[in-house]
């Protein structure tokens, strides 16, 4: 009778299969992750701002909801929490630029109220965002 020697090799084929399945899952789900908020900015030929640091952006969508974007991550926020959070950020770094990105279908009063909230939070200068004019 022949003695069987123990096999000292690892079978990597199942690990490759799992890796390929995970790769396919990530390739399918990555485009579905929408990190921003869809707003339709008004168009203008204003000159772009020179910003040394990452701006603090408050997006106002068509139905009046507020989204605070810090470093590319947007979160739905109410006006009281917006004022508290912006005040904390500005206390830590008063030089951070503050911008409002309002949908062009949002009323002037809503944008004005957001500007007042930001001013009460300590933002001395508030910029308005727009898209460049299409030629």
Q: Whole-model pTM?
A: 0.63
pLDDT of residue 87: 93
In the block, which residue shows the tokens 């109410």? 78
Q: Is 14 helix (H, G, I), strand (E, B) or coil?
A: helix
Q: Which domains does the chain have, with CATH numbers?
A: 43-132 (3.30.420.270)
Q: What are the pLDDT digits (tens) for 66-115?
A: 999 887 788 899 989 999 999 999 999 888 889 998 888 888 889 899 99
Among 16-25, 47-56, 113-122, whose mean pLDDT is lowest?
A: 47-56
Which of 25, 46, 41 shows the shortest CA–CA distance to 111? 41
Q: What is the 3-state secondary structure (H, E, C) of 112-129?
A: HHHHHHHHHCCCCCEEEC
Nearest to 54 by CA among 104, 102, 89, 84: 89
Query: Cβ(114)–Cβ(39) under 8 Å?
Result: no
């Amino acid at each position: 009778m022949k003695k069987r020697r123990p096999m000292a090799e690892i079978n990597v084929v199942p690990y490759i299969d799992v890796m390929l399945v995970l790769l396919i899952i990530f390739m399918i789900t990555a485009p579905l992750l929408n990190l921003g908020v869809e707003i339709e900015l008004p168009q203008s030929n204003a000159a772009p701002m020179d910003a040394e640091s990452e701006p603090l952006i408050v997006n106002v969508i068509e139905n009046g909801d507020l989204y605070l974007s810090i470093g590319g991550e947007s979160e739905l926020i109410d006006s009281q929490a917006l004022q508290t959070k912006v005040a904390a950020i500005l206390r830590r770094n008063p030089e951070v630029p503050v911008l409002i990105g309002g949908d062009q279908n949002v009323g002037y009063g809503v944008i004005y109220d957001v500007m007042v909230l930001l001013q009460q939070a300590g933002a001395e200068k508030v910029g308005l965002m727009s898209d460049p004019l299409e030629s």
